[in-house]
Structure 1
Amino acid sequence: MTAPTKLLIILGENNALKLTLPLGIPKNVNELKAEIENQCGVSEQFRLQYMDTDFNQFLNMTSTFDLKDMDKIKVIKTGVPETSTGSNESSVSSFNLGSPCSGHNPDYDTDILSSPESRSSSSSSSANSTLRSEAWPLDFRIPEFSFDVELQLTKGNQEFQANGTLLTLKPKLKSDILESLSSEIMKYKAYPSDSNLSDVCQALVVKHPCLKEKGSETGFSAWKISLKYKMSNYRGKLKNLGCSELVINSLKRRGNSNVHPNQVKKPRRAEVNFCPDYPAGETRESQEEERLVLLSELKKKNNNETIKAKMAQTFPHRRQEILQDMPFVADFKSRWPALFSPREINAEFQRITTIPLTSTFMAQLDNNTTKLTKVFRNKGGTSGRKITEIMAAIDENDTVAMRRVCTLKGLAVYLNEDPNSLIKEYQASNQIETISSNKNLTDGNFSSHTFIRL
């Protein structure tokens, strides 16, 4: 029997996956590319490079003959996605725990090494250029300033390295720096937190040490205060220009004298695209017409691609409707019935947060399986016996899908919940089977599946 092989798949900067292949190295490059497409969710055209041990650098891959266990594979994207709208194709339409119809093969173990903040929703951003493409970065990158500002900072850094002299800031220079930083911050969020401002200022004095402050414990205390006020002024400027995320908090827009001015609508921690502007050439009326077209498209069969495109196109309209009109859930469901399918729930989550819901959940579940297993072993009584019986199935069939199923069932029992209310197991024939309930599940040809109920 071929020994399992582990490969490190590098998708980009701060984005990598560990891929375990139980059947060993594929016979050719096309088979390896197919596995990377399925497991890593790569929807673009790409080629592969491998780390050559002789030259210690990445070389183009023409065959899999030179590959071995623990090798590094780099994915080089050469084209655009086949479908530019909708959700990531790697995100399955429900929380499918390793069924053949999903994009995840239960025999392949994938651990996501990159942080959620480093992943972006390329599909949503391509459908609507007004959307933000990524969440707040772990390491904030200071933008390139204008030529005159960069010239002054370069000379200031040289002087600082030579004799430790700090740069004497002129009001115009400081204002230009703060303006550029505010513009860069706005690419991620309109209302940065105190820690966000600290990240920016710390990155500023690290990149340009001549801007450090004398007598400051952190070296950027005054910068932080100035940036806070500059962001406030910058928001006022954008609000006057009609930025939806800021106009929504205008007292004139809210039209209620009893509303406290500090009670603003801000995105929650994970929300990146909170209240996007309408795309160029689109208005509330034109998007409402698209919503009506979407309702008619729902009545047609085999129309998933069109529905995906329409849902991505009308995303700004939905967000502004939720935030401004605050409709009841029943009314909102009647207006947007397509949103409440498992596929579109995943897509909408990714549009708002730029994070794929299903793959992120499964990755965190896999990362914490060992810790949860240790917790389960310390559980006694009736619940402990039930958990032991559930986890015993792993000994008979130790696959990724089985570990996920048993861990989730054991967690439900540990929390004194009925796992049958969370997990639905069934056997299906070769015909398409639909489970009719309030929980929407994917239709398809299945043999044996386990789904988390949505």
Structure 2
Amino acid sequence: MEAEMRKKDPDHQFVEDLMVATFSQRRKEIVGDQPLIAEVLSRWPALFNERQIKAEFKRIVNTDLLQSFLDGLDSLVPRLLELYKSAARSGKKQALKCILDCLVRDDTNERRRAAALLGLPQYISGEDPANVIRICDAHVEILEEDMKGMQLGLLIGCESGEPDAIPREVFDVAVVVEETIVLHNIKDVVVAFSLLMGVIYCMKS
């Protein structure tokens, strides 16, 4: 599996067959030994791509990751946005107002989903949003500083300059675990959140 993943164009069906065959061993190692993410990356490199995170989630719970995430999110979006509006009106959550203002300019379903997700760390009292979500210049090659202190979250790469609270031009979203990028080249913020949940589930369940 490691040799196959080192190829420029790995055989995805071959990798899938290997991942299925080693599923029980992998779950025993990850759940039982609770290794650091660097060890998991080294031991199971095939796990950390969008295709295999979705596949591993389905192997664990027999449910489609993205669809189940979107179904749950859509049921919560209206209530979350109302909570954000109330908090923004109090004057204590300026960042939430910036997110909501983006919806005034472009109120699509996709943007409402992104607003609900990006607003959560801003809304939760006592939580530093930068611990979970950081927006950075997509063209900066050295990311160590951007990831510093981030134990679990998303690094959203946008065009240089002052980004919108809900980024319009997303070049790359990376899933970060223990200050390490484990998954990247994601072009959609909502999909990135679902994959973050998938990574959490695959590492803990």
84, 87, 90: which is aligned to 1:376?
84
Look up the match of 1:426: 158
SS in 2 for 1:349: helix
Which AA in structure 2 matches 1:382?
K
Greater Rg by CA: 1
Alpha-carbon distance change, 337 to 406 in structure 1, aligned in 2, over 3 angstroms:
same
Counterpart CA distance in 2 for 1:389 and 1:399 is: 16
Which AA in structure 2 matches 1:305?
Q
Counterpart CA distance in 1 for 2:34 and 2:75 is: 38
Which AA in structure 2 matches 1:355?
T
Which AA in structure 1 matches 2:77?
T
Counterpart CA distance in 1 for 2:109 and 2:172 is: 25
How many percent identity over aligned positions? Answer: 28
Counterpart CA distance in 1 for 2:172 and 2:84 is: 34
Which AA in structure 2 matches 1:386?
A
CA drift at 1:326: 2.7
CA RMSD of aligned residues (A): 3.0
Look up the match of 1:411: 120
Which AA in structure 1 matches 2:156?
K
Normalized against structure 2, the TM-score is what?
0.60
Contact 1:372 1:407 in 2 (8 A): yes
Structure 2, unaligned stretches of length 5 or more? 135-152, 161-170, 175-179, 197-205
Contact 2:58 2:64 in 1 (8 A): yes
Look up the match of 2:181: 438
Look up the match of 2:33: 326
Structure 1, unaligned stretches of length 5 or more? 1-293
Look up the match of 1:348: 56
Contact 2:173 2:184 in 1 (8 A): yes
* Higher fraction of helix: 2
Counterpart CA distance in 2 for 1:413 and 1:372 is: 12
Contact 2:156 2:173 in 1 (8 A): no
Look up the match of 1:299: 6
Which AA in structure 2 matches 1:426?
C
Work out the number of aligned pairs and report it. Answer: 151
SS in 2 for 1:345: helix
Contact 2:99 2:115 in 1 (8 A): yes
SS in 2 for 1:387: helix
CA drift at 1:439: 4.6
92, 99, 102: which is aligned to 1:390?
99
Counterpart CA distance in 1 for 2:110 and 2:159 is: 16
Q: Deviations over 1:46-70 (max 9, x none)?
A: xxxxxxxxxxxxxxxxxxxxxxxxx
Counterpart CA distance in 1 for 2:82 and 2:91 is: 16
315, 320, 323: which is aligned to 2:23?
315
Q: Deviations over 1:107-151 (max 9, x none)?
A: xxxxxxxxxxxxxxxxxxxxxxxxxxxxxxxxxxxxxxxxxxxxx
CA drift at 1:301: 2.0
Counterpart CA distance in 2 for 1:435 and 1:404 is: 16
CA drift at 1:327: 5.9
Which AA in structure 2 matches 1:326?
D
Which AA in structure 1 matches 2:51?
R
Q: Deviations over 1:202-236 (max 9, x none)?
A: xxxxxxxxxxxxxxxxxxxxxxxxxxxxxxxxxxx
Mapped pair 1:359 → 2:67? yes
Normalized against structure 1, the TM-score is what?
0.30
Which AA in structure 1 matches 2:183?
N
Contact 1:391 1:407 in 2 (8 A): no
Counterpart CA distance in 2 for 1:377 and 1:327 is: 40
CA drift at 1:351: 0.6
Alpha-carbon distance change, 309 to 387 in structure 1, aligned in 2, over 3 angstroms:
same
Contact 2:41 2:182 in 1 (8 A): no
CA drift at 1:317: 2.6
Contact 1:394 1:402 in 2 (8 A): yes
